[in-house]
Chains A and B, each alone.
Chain A
Amino acid sequence: RKEVEQDPGPFNVPEGATVAFNCTYSNSASQSFFWYRQDCRKEPKLLMSVYSSGNEDGRFTAQLNRASQYISLLIRDSKLSDSATYLCVAPQAANKLIFGTGTLLAVQP
């Protein structure tokens, strides 16, 4: 099993839609999780951290399910500018962050 697994997509959704991505991780001892966004030919940029209690930042909601070892990202009211690759990140060891291969989102007008 890969350490961090994501559905590569692409997810093609219309503007205004709600879309959700899941990501599974293998290390049950992992504590810190993140979602990154990567635009084409750019570096990954932090979108949000994922806390045990879940967290929300505007249209974005991240949740952690420790029992099933997955994290999720929900995007509400999708914008064209949300089109990007979304990478989930989990630690294999303290500060050793492993990235999933990413989920491609394409928001259509």
Chain B
Amino acid sequence: DAGVIQSPRHEVTEMGQEVTLRCKPISGHDYLFWYRQTMMRGLELLIYFNNNVPIDDSGMPEDRFSAKMPNASFSTLKIQPSEPRDSAVYFCASSFSRANSPLHFGNGTRLTVT
């Protein structure tokens, strides 16, 4: 089992640039989550999908953030335009839909916006 795969591991970009983060969930998992982690706020849930359909995007901070899941094995989180306050570690996680199913996290993408 390859686990949840995220890319890139690190991203450094300038303010105003578009950033795209990628995630491949564990095969067979039907839930996919995007979290953001900062020292100040901890792990915040941004959005999650079930069977490729967005279920709850109430955690997405602004319209600059968007997420898609075109198929069961791929999701993207896009920030356009990026700002320095978006600097954080972005985690993707996946799980089964059965009760008490835990999340499995990817290694995360460390984003720095200068």
Contact = CB atoms under 8 A, between A and B. Distances in A.
A95 B100 contact: no
Could you say which of B91, B97, B103 has the most chain A C-beta atoms within 10 Å of its C-beta?
B103
Interface in B5-47: 31, 33, 35, 41-43, 45
Interface residues of B, number: 24
B105 A45 contact: yes
B50 interface: yes
A72 interface: no
Interface stretch (A20-28, A63-71, A74-82, A97-105): A97-105
Contacts of B48: 95-96
Given A43-B91, A95-B95, A99-B35, 12 more contacts: A31-B100, A32-B99, A34-B102, A43-B107, A46-B104, A49-B100, A95-B31, A96-B45, A96-B55, A97-B103, A101-B42, A102-B42
21 contacts: A31-B99, A42-B107, A43-B91, A43-B105, A44-B91, A46-B103, A87-B43, A93-B56, A95-B48, A95-B50, A95-B97, A95-B101, A96-B45, A96-B55, A96-B56, A97-B33, A98-B45, A99-B35, A99-B43, A101-B41, A101-B43
